[in-house]
Amino acid sequence: MLKKRLIGVVTIKNSWAVQSVGYRSYLPLGHPEYVVENLDRWGVDEIIVICIDRSHRNLGPDLSILKRLSSLRLSTPLTFGGGIHTAKQAVSVIQLGAERICIDAVLHDDPEKIFEMERLIGSQALVACLPFSIKSKVFFWYNYRTQKSIPFPKKIYDLFNKGLISEALIIDWRNEGSDNGFDINLIKKFPFKNISLIAFGGLNRINKLTAVLKCSSVVGAGVGNFLSYTEHAVQTLKTGLHQCQVRPSVYLGTV
Amino acid sequence: MKRLNIGIVNYEIGNYASLQNTIHQIGYRCQISHDKKLLNKCDILLLPGVGAFRPAMEAIKKKGLDSFLVEQARHQRPILGICLGMQLLSDGSYENGYSKGLGLIPGEIIPLKNPRWHIGWNNIKILRNDSLFESSNGKSFYFNHSHTYQGPTQYQVCKAMANKAIVASIRRQKVLGIQFHPEKSQLEGKILLKHLLSKIDNA
């Protein structure tokens, strides 16, 4: 059976890997290459790299960073996001070494473009990045450029329903970067069924990761800087999550 | 000892960089090209793929690579299709309407249902004796697809279990397809890819 994925998430701002806290403060970590290379070596199941300043400044995807990451000869699946607004950009990102792309701003600006992206790279390569908060059972979708939230529109759900997007990265943006902060209601009360979810934002401990990964709609959990701050974090988490259908740690077997 | 020359068929829709990097890592030379003269000198042809079937076949035809690949298979040139590349080896696909494939391995590509995607790490299981896959039986590899092969069992080599069995590998003589991505399956992927490239010509 398919394993649930422990995913390393790398946030990039101004070409630097950063620790993002609640979508508002950013602490530099270093060159993205080092962070991503470590995640690859440690055997996470997937790496998601998101350049958070590209759409904001209308710069398109940061292909130079992607080229540098690709030159690392990664052997871990790579999902790349940030600034991807057109099908042509989506194809470029795939050609440069990403297996999948993450889309966010284009969903706000022009969701019709998803049809052309899907036609060229396939729905399996499309992941929607959805920063959410929940209030009175209503899901609010955060637009990081306007810094405002709106109720999650049905037209975006329809993109899933039509099979154009394969997975949703559900980000607890308010708790992002905080210790054990992920609000599991974002998963349990997610109103739309039959969408495969990746949870991210404030996930760093085995108990919370276990609770999230045991939800049937969850196919993966994203962990950010915690993986870089702790020795053997990937192996420790994978060992602790062995009852959650996570692929066993491979790192120790290679040394 | 002969040094293998591997050609990655470039039809402009694929993860060429990833595959080239992995092949270099496991110690082989390779070149990415759509030049038929150059590809004709290669010992093994790789058909990679991340994308959708129809634009991929259109791109292959536009470059005149469809008849070239069929001719290469006829002359027993080993061909390895990966992910979408495997699907392109079939007779055709129902992805976004029906499109003809290369027709190198009988069978068709149909949409997955319930769930509509097979994304992530899954173990493969060998369905029949095949020395190319024996050492990877039961190992976990990275899959990422929404359509799957359906065809005669005689061409099916490996499967993966989701809600139901999904064909993970197909083979007809020296034409081989693998639905998963060995280039993105960490150590096990490299071991398998190295094994396939070194043995495919004689297996």
* CATH code of residue A17: 3.20.20.70
- Domain assignment present for residue A249? The answer is no
Domain total in chain A: 1
Contact A153, A45 (CB under 8 A): no
- Domain assignment present for residue A122? The answer is yes
Q: What is the pLDDT of residue B16?
A: 82
Q: What is the pLDDT of residue A253?
A: 46
Q: Measure B61 CA to nearest chain A CA, in Å.
A: 16
pLDDT tens digits, one per residue of A11-31: 999 999 999 888 888 999 999
- Predicted confidence band at A251 (pLDDT cuts at 50, 70, 90)? low
Active-site residue, B183 included: yes
Nearest-10 crossing angle of helices B65-74, B53-62? 90
Query: Is B120–A95 a contact, with Cβ atoms under 8 angstroms apart?
Result: no
Active-site residue, B71 included: no
pLDDT at A252 over 80: no
Q: What is the pLDDT of residue B1?
A: 56
- Per the structure, the complete domain to which residue A61 belongs is given by 5-244
The active-site residue out of B42, B145, B183, B195 is B183
Query: Is B119–A166 a contact, with Cβ atoms under 8 angstroms apart?
Result: yes
Cα(A168)–Cα(A76) distance, rounded to whole angstroms?
20
The active-site residue out of B30, B34, B42, B83 is B83
Task: Report pTM.
Answer: 0.95
pLDDT at A99 over 80: yes
CB contacts < 8 A, A to B, total: 129
Contact A62, A82 (CB under 8 A): yes
Compute the mean pLDDT over every residue in chain A, rounded to the nearest whole number. Answer: 92
- Domain assignment present for residue A251? The answer is no
pLDDT tens digits, one per residue of A42-96: 999 999 999 999 888 889 999 999 999 988 989 999 999 999 999 999 999 998 8
pLDDT at B203 over 80: no
Q: What is the pLDDT of residue A11?
A: 96
Contact B196, B176 (CB under 8 A): yes
A70 or B45: which leads in pLDDT = B45
pLDDT at A101 over 90: yes
- Predicted confidence band at B123 (pLDDT cuts at 50, 70, 90)? very high
The secondary structure of chain A in percent helix, strand, coil, rounded to multiples of 5, reads 35, 30, 40
- Domain assignment present for residue A144? The answer is yes
Contact B87, A124 (CB under 8 A): no
Query: Is B51–A123 a contact, with Cβ atoms under 8 angstroms apart?
Result: no
Q: Domains of chain B by range and CATH? A: 5-199 (3.40.50.880)
Active-site residue, B83 included: yes
Cα(B122)–Cα(A142) distance, rounded to whole angstroms?
34
Least confident of A51-55, B119-123, B134-138: A51-55
A48 touches chain B (CB under 8 A): no
- Domain assignment present for residue A179? The answer is yes
- Domain assignment present for residue A195? The answer is yes
Q: Measure A68 CA to nearest chain B CA, in Å.
A: 11
pLDDT tens digits, one per residue of A123-146: 999 999 999 999 988 999 999 999
- Domain assignment present for residue A253? The answer is no
The single-letter code of the amino acid at A107 is L
- Domain assignment present for residue A234? The answer is yes
Cα(B16)–Cα(B51) distance, rounded to whole angstroms?
12
pLDDT tens digits, one per residue of A140-167: 999 999 999 999 998 999 999 999 999 9
